[in-house]
């Protein structure tokens, strides 16, 4: 009988020891997973298309349209268009909100009319006027549809 009690006491001690070690291991694993997840979130990069872009777009009945596009971090924009060679009412300013489509097309939305204009992000220093699918103008005037970052 004494041998049975001694055996049971030993078994209880072994069980408690294993449970304690298991809890310590689980806590360490959880801390390590939390640290890894935190690192992943911190590594997310901010887009680099914010800023002011300028250029002169082609115009059918004037010398060109001097264009200044400001893209803000808060999803708002300002577009200033000056029709060169026109005397009266030659500067137009539009502002509104923008959306990013397919990660490389900026969709400018004019709140008052709902009109949409599209610019494709070419690189960190330029955007180009395009259609709603991101297709760029082609031909000899294609380079004139590009706005450069100021």
**Where are the domains positioned within the chain?**
51-149
pTM here is 0.69
| Alpha carbon distance 144, 130 (integer Å) | 12
Contacts of 112 (CB under 8 A, 6+ apart): none
Cα dihedral 34/35/38/39 (nearest 10)? -150
Inter-CA distances, 123 with 9, 126, 128, 133, Å = 73, 6, 10, 17
pLDDT band at 47 (very low <50, low <70, confident <90, very high): confident
What's the mean pLDDT in 135-139? 93
The CATH architecture one would assign to domain 51-149 is: Beta Barrel (2.40)
Per-residue pLDDT tens for 67-111?
999 999 999 999 999 999 998 889 999 999 999 999 999 999 999
pLDDT band at 26 (very low <50, low <70, confident <90, very high): low
The half-sphere exposure of 12 on its side-chain side, counting CA atoms within 13 A, is: 6
The strand pairing partners of 79, in sequence order, are: 69, 94
Burial class (CB within 10 angstroms; exposed 0-12, middle 13-18, buried 19+) of 82: middle
Mean pLDDT taken over the chain: 82
Q: Look at the chain and count its residues.
A: 150
């Amino acid at each position: 009988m004494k041998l049975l009690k001694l055996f049971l006491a030993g078994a209880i001690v072994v069980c408690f020891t294993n449970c304690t070690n298991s809890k310590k291991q689980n806590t360490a694993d959880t801390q390590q997973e939390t640290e890894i997840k935190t690192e992943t979130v911190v590594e997310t990069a901010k887009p680099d298309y914010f800023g002011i872009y300028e250029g002169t777009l082609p115009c059918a009945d004037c010398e060109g349209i001097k264009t200044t596009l400001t893209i803000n971090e808060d999803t708002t924009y300002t577009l200033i268009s000056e029709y060169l060679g026109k005397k009266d009412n030659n500067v137009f300013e539009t502002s509104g909100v923008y959306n990013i489509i397919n990660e490389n097309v900026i969709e400018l939305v004019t709140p008052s009319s709902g009109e949409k204009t599209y610019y494709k992000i070419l690189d960190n220093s330029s955007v180009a006027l395009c259609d709603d699918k991101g297709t760029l103008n082609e031909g000899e005037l294609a380079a004139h549809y590009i706005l450069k970052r100021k």
